Structure 1
Amino acid sequence: MRIATFNLLHGRSVDDGRVEPGRLSQAVAALDADVLALQEVDRNQARSHGADLTALAAEAMGAVDACFVPAVIGTPGGTWTVATGQEQQDSPGYGVALVSRYPVVTWDVVRLRGARAGLPMWLPGTHRPILVRDEPRVAVTAVIDGPSGRFTVCTTHLSFVPGWNRRQLRQVMSTLEGAPGPLVLLGDLNMTARPAVRVSGLQPLASVPTFPVHRPTRQLDHVLVRGGLRATGPVESPRLALSDHRALVVPCGPA
């Protein structure tokens, strides 16, 4: 079984600045994941040509189940509102997704408040730091009927605000206390391995830098587990034709 996580940067390439849905499909097919967690996912956004990026990923990997959950409705960095789950299915959204080649038994969603304060950040094409406002976040959990029995997978994309992301991670973990079977937490946690492991209480299956994409120096993207799973082959961190992150792929099986 191959488990992967990938921050899509809404499908944009940092090399040419373009969003081409075909690149996403090719990248997902190349990952050949059985369970894929996606972050910074667009649905019906003009910047990504109105595409449903989750549906494109599901088709590319031959998935039988997929779920996109927006954290915000509207345009990130522009005009948006906090997603509540009551929106129309075709509303422009931005959030996270889980895609699986195995049947999903149940889905669950945890909504996480954004930090009140933003942070000054250097963005591509800028000559000085820009104050970036934090956004609400969301976690999506699936109980999956896998080849060796049921297991639980959760993905999230936590705040870039130090301290606040740890608070969000604790909240996510509190909802997973009674999760059935082995537990896998995937995603861009916006923290390095040491705090991610300490706060979550989970064990890492991969220790490899994933950001920034050209010359990674930090691991922001993680595959963390509890009980019954181990890596069964080399970890992969491929550079793909989109995003400012590298994907993270772990072959795994029963411990």
Structure 2
Amino acid sequence: MNMTHNIHSRPLRIASYNIRKARGLDGRRDPGRIVDVINALDADIIALQEADRRLGDRPAAIPKEMITRATDFDLVPLAQNDVSLGWHGNAILVRRGCQVASTSRIGLPGVEPRGAVAVKLTTGLTVVGVHLGLLRQSRRKQLHRIVGHLGKADNVVVIGDMNEWANARGFEPLAGAFTLHSPGRSFHAARPVAALDRVALSRDLVLSDAGVAQGAQARQASDHLPIWADVLSA
């Protein structure tokens, strides 16, 4: 896919995947399996959660050279060191050839240390990758912070593991500026019962299609299934 197209000319596929540090349901850490699932998404942009290990300097769960060698994606430089893929475990991959205009890290309040990452493309689209907290009170504060950081920006996609089991409660800070979508049940991968992974679009964007990847590898590679959303300008 040629990412030099303007966002108005065709749908862009934005995906999200909590890779659980590349540890599958069989207990094995297998970054190659994660890469296979990523490639099968046929996405333009992918937000990853739990992309780094938790201990020490938070080394990458997928070797950077594997992403370069085995995918058509570039890793957006969001990490604060040389060993992590992202920040607070949040990383963003963009289809090779995509032009990134700017990046930012958004510190989030809450009981646990959390952060979101934002990438603005030269097409005008901004993608915010999130992994919200385990407590609803924290999640509300985190969404308030993200919305405040974005201000009145248009062409914005907020996507990721939002950790909310309810259909609407907890998402109040998005009301008015964003439309929330649930592509489907994405957790637990072995038996999906909850739509924890979701996407919110600013009012000038529309969803043309969305879904949950449910292939055999996706059902083994992590405890979350990837979601995807095809996005157009309104």
Match of 2:200 in 1: 224
Residue 142 in 1 paired to residue 119 in 2? yes
Is the 1:141–1:155 Cα contact (8 Å) retained in structure 2? yes
Q: Does 1:96 align with 2:68?
A: no
Output the amino acid matched with 2:107: R
State the shift of 1:168 in Å: 1.2
In 2: Cα distance, 1:208 partner to 1:224 partner: 14
Indicate if the aligned counterparts of 1:68 and 1:95 stay in contact, CA closer than 8 A: no
Amino acid at match of 1:67: P
Shift of 1:10: 0.5
SS of the aligned residue for 1:245 comes to coil
Is the aligned partner of 1:186 residue 2:159?
yes
Cα offsets for 1:112-145 (capped at 9, x unmatched): 2441xxxxxxxxxxxxxxxxxxx30111011112
Which structure has the bigger radius of gyration? 1
* Partner residue, 2:28: 18
Aligned partners of 1:33 and 1:61 also within 8 Å? no
Distance 1:21 1:153 in 2: 24
Q: Mapping of 1:77-88 within 5 angstroms?
A: 85=80, 88=81
Q: RMSD of aligned C-alpha atoms?
A: 2.7
- Match of 1:250, SS? strand
1:211 to partner: Cα distance: 1.1
Aligned twin of 2:3: none
Give the CA deviation at 1:216. Answer: 1.4
Distance 2:135 2:40 in 1: 32
Aligned partner (choices 138, 153, 163) of residue 127 of structure 2? 153
Aligned residue pairs total 212
Greater strand share, 1 or 2?
1
Tell me whether 201-210 or 60-69 shows the greater mean CA deviation.
60-69
Moved over 6 A (4+): none
Structure 1 residues 26-175: aligned runs within 5 Å: 26-42=36-52, 51=60, 53=62, 55=64, 56-57=66-67, 60-69=70-79, 85=80, 88-90=81-83, 95-101=89-95, 102-115=98-111, 135-145=112-122, 149-175=123-149
| Paired residue type of 2:187 | F
Q: Contact (CA 8 Å) 2:88, 2:115: kept in 1 or not?
A: no
- Distance verdict in 2 for CA 1:37–1:246, change over 3 Å: same
Amino acid at match of 2:132: L
Distance 1:114 1:182, change over 3 A: same
For 2:100 and 2:115, how far apart are their aligned partners in 1? 19
C-alpha separation in 2, matches of 1:188 and 1:44: 17
> How does the TM-score come out when normalised to structure 2?
0.79
TM-score, scaled to structure 1:
0.73
